[in-house]
């Protein structure tokens, strides 16, 4: 929600910080980039729709025991761990000037996908099994509303409650999309 006009996690906002003196006012408002359901409750379905656009998951070919997965190096683990802490709160989207309230679901496929989805694409592209969908993720991120719509205002990284390096992810995906675009062009 917005607390004194700024988006953040209400559960970790201590009242002493916001109203240290008797009579201090605290203003609570719902996020503005999502449809309000009631009071401070907003509909974040679009956050999850963006994750679907980039196929933010590890594909499996069954529910039986596949045995241990591929091993990750400690360096890769260190990079990926923080990315995996995203909780789809939507704070990065609320702060982003490129992401706007869009209640018409038919427009979601071409509206800006958001920093959270770009970062999750980086996470799953870096996973050995997840990388089998890398091409599809990069196709989605090359499409309208993809990574090139980011205006690099860097508001997202300042408000992420998990400290996820979103601008690093945007830069990494920007490079990956360029390489993917060139490779696809020469394969034709
Ligand atoms: S860097 Fe990109 S994703 Fe982040 S707030 Fe700016 S425009 Fe939005
Ligand atoms: S990237 Fe950060 S701000 Fe954005 S949805 Fe994930 S945890 Fe929330």
pTM of the model: 0.93
| Lookup: tokens for 78 | 């260190």
Helix/strand/coil percentages in the chain, nearest 5? 45, 5, 45
User: Please, what's the b/e burial string for 87-121 (b: 16 or more CB within 10 A of its CB; e: otherwise)?
Assistant: ebbbbbbbbbebbeebeeeeebeebbbbbbbbbbb
- pLDDT tens per residue, range 69-118: 888 899 999 999 999 999 999 999 999 999 999 989 999 999 999 999 99
Segment 30-56 mean pLDDT: 97
Q: List the residue whose alpha carbon is closest to atom 1 of ligand 2.
A: 116
Segment 120-144 mean pLDDT: 96
Ligand 1 pocket at CB < 6 A: 95-98, 115, 150-156, 166-167, 170
* β-strand pairing of 6-7 with 2-3: antiparallel
- pLDDT tens per residue, range 149-178: 999 989 999 999 999 999 999 999 999 999
Asked if residue 90 has its Cβ within 6 Å of ligand 2, the reply is yes
């Amino acid at each position: 929600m917005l607390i004194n006009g700024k988006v953040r996690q209400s559960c970790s906002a201590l009242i002493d910080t916001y109203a240290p003196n008797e009579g201090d006012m605290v203003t609570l408002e719902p996020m503005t980039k999502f449809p309000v359901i009631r009071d401070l409750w907003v509909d974040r379905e679009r956050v999850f729709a963006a994750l679907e656009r980039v196929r933010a998951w590890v594909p499996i070919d069954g529910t039986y025991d596949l045995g241990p997965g591929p091993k990750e190096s400690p360096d890769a683990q260190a990079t990926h761990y923080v990315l995996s802490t995203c909780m789809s709160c939507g704070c990065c989207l609320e702060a982003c000037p490129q992401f706007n309230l869009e209640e018409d679901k038919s427009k979601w496929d071409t509206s800006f996908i958001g920093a959270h989805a770009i970062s999750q694409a980086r996470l799953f592209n870096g996973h050995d099994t997840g990388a089998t969908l890398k091409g599809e993720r990069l196709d989605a991120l090359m499409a309208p509303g993809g990574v090139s719509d980011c205006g690099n205002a860097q508001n997202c990284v300042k408000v992420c409650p998990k400290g996820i390096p979103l601008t690093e992810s945007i830069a990494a995906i920007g490079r990956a999309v360029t390489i993917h675009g060139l490779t696809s062009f020469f394969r034709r």
